[in-house]
Amino acid sequence: MSLKKADRAIDALQRGDLKQAVSMFDQCNKKLSQPNQMHACVMAYSQAGRHSDAQAMLKKLIQTVNVTPQLMSLSGDINKANGKLNDAIKDYRQAVAMAPQIPELLYNLALGLFDKPELSEAIRLLEKSILIRPNYVKALILLGRCLAGAQQYKAAHEVLEKSTNLEPDNQTAHYRLGRFHVHYGNTEEAGTSLKSSLSINPQLNAAREALILNSIYTGDYQGTTALIKSTLTSQPHDENLIAIGTDWAIEAAQEEPYVYYQTAWNSHPTPSLFRSYTSRLIAQSDFNKAEILLNDYASHFGKDRAWESVKLNLLEAQDNFGEMMTLIKSSAHRSHFQEQQCLVHFALGDYGSSYDCAKKLHDSQPKDQYYLALLATALRCLGDKEYERLVNYETLVLQADLQSLFEHQSQFKPFKDSLAKHLNGLHITTQPPAQQSVRGGTQTPGNLFAQNQNPLVAQLKQFILNSSQSFFDGLKASKLDDSHPVVSNCPKVPYFHASWSIRTTQGGFHKSHVHSKGWYSSACYIDVPEVIGNKSDAGYLMFGKPPFKIKDELAADYKVKPTPGKLVLFPSYFWHATKPYQGEGNRLVVAFDVGDPNLFV
């Protein structure tokens, strides 16, 4: 009977009836003994998203047959789908070692390394696969993405264009070439490639998203607004498009910026839409609308984990920590609210419990700079000397004067003035980004160093590279031990993976924050108002003061006076903010994060 069921399950799988195939394999999987039956069961479970079951059956299969490269690659696919990237890469390596001349196996390993990301080895593997099979378009596309991430833009462009020439009807080839042009600032070429991908597949919403970003980066207010409106008229429930359209509406100071969220919510409410919508409402301190949405969500879905999470975020924004603690203690999902528990314990003065929560968060994601900042703050509250090791300003902060890089100091002012004029022209919005730290100012869209090809920006980037490289090399030679997060989280190749300009006027400031995905962050001052001086710390860059409530309030414990041409580098987990100033003039800054490569393409 089991054999007959297995054969019927295989037949259902071959007919595309996955539900029936999985159901029948569930009834007979313990008695499967034939390799073809076990292999089919693995495929059925994998396609159904039951990756743990697929892995268990694959292990059983491997015990009964000679291990092949294809089986090891399949194991890698399952581990990767199960979130076990390191195990997947190990499997892919074994597959390649067994059959180093099979291009598909080289590609699978390269894709795993791309996700890690370890681009140099991925590039070598892809180049080898293309040598074996020159028209391997899938590998060419991934190679282009790797080269773009490694900032080898000319080579990336060449291989991505080659992929579209080899397969003109390949939607992915045109889409990735379009993403490259968006990232690199080639506006017209981006539009052409992305529209080509949509002509092949009109349902490719990722291409619509990239088209909108491309339009935003050009500063075309009316064109962007019209494009967002037309796109969301045809795709009213795509949450990525809704988020981009709403953030643009907020930065452009449009009336009713939440109309796209509200329209989607009225017709098709979902938990993910609820979380995305309320996160923006809370960030904009629109607590009444957030409360209304909470009640509406409860009527549709009940007070589930998503409801509790948003309720906790709303209570925290309103400093209602007692009610937060009550909700957390009564929740069946308490283990998922470590971050909220941590903040409650800080507010109530229970710093030992704050430390315990922060430690669990940090251990779960060691590279997350926000969790590391929480841990450092708990140590400071406890008076632990470990805080001084983690937050050693004298060792870990660079203050450099870019003026010193000019042969004659008189050359700096015309460079600075011309650069400031160019940067000011890039500030196309009127309001700060919806969920970021700046208040009373604006931020340039996109990745400044990648997409802006102005020679002044390129010169500034080179100045920064010249100043920062020796500092980063010095960190490696310093007395920091291998367990220090600056050392343990140091990327193999530090890239400028995000860059932008911030402009604030009097009264403008940055709320305290960290850059959760960075390694090192920065502020490079281009223009500084004359009112920022030595008489007070108004307008200064301040370190160490957290953005959340602490019973025994912590003050900033390090500050930097801005001056034109000053470059400041600091670990991304350092709390940092700027104080408002009063008086004429703009504070114009170029900022960037150093870390793993940008994988936008």
The first and second tokens of residue 203, run together, are 């349902």
Q: What is the pLDDT of residue 420?
A: 94
The mean pLDDT value for 418-440 works out to 87
The mean pLDDT value for 200-209 works out to 96
Q: Of 23-27, 372-376, 476-480, which one has max mean pLDDT?
A: 372-376
393 to 379, 390, 507, 567: CA distances (angstroms): 16, 9, 27, 15
- Give domain status of residue 489, yes or no: yes
| 401 and 325 together in one domain | no
Q: What is the pLDDT of residue 306?
A: 97
**Angstrom distance (rounded) from CA 25 to CA 17:** 12
- Give domain status of residue 399, yes or no: yes
Q: What is the pLDDT of residue 213?
A: 94
- Give domain status of residue 401, yes or no: yes
| Band (592; pLDDT cuts 50, 70, 90) | very high
Q: What is the pLDDT of residue 589?
A: 96
- Are 503 and 425 contacting, i.e. CB atoms less than 8 angstroms apart? no
Q: What is the pLDDT of residue 408?
A: 86
Show which of 336, 352, 382 is a domain's final residue. 336
The answer to whether residue 1 scores a pLDDT higher than 50 is no
HSE-CB of 394 using CA atoms within 13 angstroms: 3
Number of domains in the chain: 2
Q: Give which of 203, 209, 208, 210 is closest to 180, Cα–Cα.
A: 210
The mean pLDDT value for 424-441 works out to 85
- Give domain status of residue 65, yes or no: no
| 278 and 405 together in one domain | no
Q: Give which of 564, 412, 437 is closest to 500, Cα–Cα.
A: 437
Show which of 306, 321, 336 is a domain's final residue. 336
Contacts of 41 (CB under 8 A, 6+ apart): 6, 9, 25, 29, 32, 57
Q: What is the pLDDT of residue 3?
A: 62
Residue 588's SS3 state is strand
**Angstrom distance (rounded) from CA 366 to CA 485:** 8
Boundaries of domain holding 298: 269-336
| 303 and 437 together in one domain | no
- Give domain status of residue 591, yes or no: yes
**Angstrom distance (rounded) from CA 72 to CA 88:** 9
Tens digits of per-residue pLDDT, 521-534? Answer: 999 999 999 999 89
| Band (203; pLDDT cuts 50, 70, 90) | very high
| Band (479; pLDDT cuts 50, 70, 90) | confident
| DSSP secondary structure string for all residues of 211-231 | HHHHHHHHT-HHHHHHHHHHH
User: Which 8-state DSSP code applies to residue 383?
Assistant: T
- Give domain status of residue 322, yes or no: yes
Burial 310-338 (b: 16+ CB within 10 A, else e): bbbbbbbeeeebeebbebbeebeeeeebb
| 311 and 423 together in one domain | no
| 318 and 432 together in one domain | no
| 317 and 466 together in one domain | no
| DSSP secondary structure string for all residues of 26-84 | HHHGGG--SHHHHHHHHHHHHHTT-HHHHHHHHHHHHTTS---HHHHHHHHHHHHHTT-
User: Which 8-state DSSP code applies to residue 187?
Assistant: H
Q: What is the pLDDT of residue 440?
A: 85
**Angstrom distance (rounded) from CA 278 to CA 564:** 39
- Give domain status of residue 274, yes or no: yes
Tens digits of per-residue pLDDT, 495-517? Answer: 988 999 999 999 988 899 999 99
**pTM for this predicted structure:** 0.92
**Angstrom distance (rounded) from CA 91 to CA 112:** 10
| Band (69; pLDDT cuts 50, 70, 90) | very high
We report the CATH number of the domain holding residue 522 as: 2.60.120.620
The answer to whether residue 4 scores a pLDDT higher than 90 is no
> CB under 8 Å, gap of 24 or more: what pairs does 43-52 form?
43/13, 44/9, 44/13, 44/18, 46/74, 46/77, 46/78, 46/81, 47/18, 48/18, 48/22, 49/81, 50/22, 51/78, 51/81, 51/82, 52/82
**Angstrom distance (rounded) from CA 555 to CA 560:** 15
| Band (2; pLDDT cuts 50, 70, 90) | low
The mean pLDDT value for 136-163 works out to 97
Contacts of 192 (CB under 8 A, 6+ apart): 178
The answer to whether residue 251 scores a pLDDT higher than 60 is yes
Residue 598's SS3 state is coil
**Angstrom distance (rounded) from CA 160 to CA 197:** 13
The answer to whether residue 434 scores a pLDDT higher than 80 is no
Q: What is the pLDDT of residue 226?
A: 93
**Length of the chain in residues, anyone?**
601
The answer to whether residue 475 scores a pLDDT higher than 90 is no
| 403 and 308 together in one domain | no
- Count CB-CB contacts under 10 A for residue 493: 13
The mean pLDDT value for 133-157 works out to 97
| 326 and 419 together in one domain | no
Average pLDDT, the chain: 94
| 286 and 405 together in one domain | no
- Give domain status of residue 304, yes or no: yes
| Band (452; pLDDT cuts 50, 70, 90) | confident
| 309 and 440 together in one domain | no
The first and second tokens of residue 554, run together, are 């912590």
Show which of 336, 362, 385 is a domain's final residue. 336
Tens digits of per-residue pLDDT, 97-121? Answer: 999 999 999 999 999 999 999 999 9
Q: What is the pLDDT of residue 439?
A: 87
The larger pLDDT score, comparing residue 440 to residue 258, is at: 258
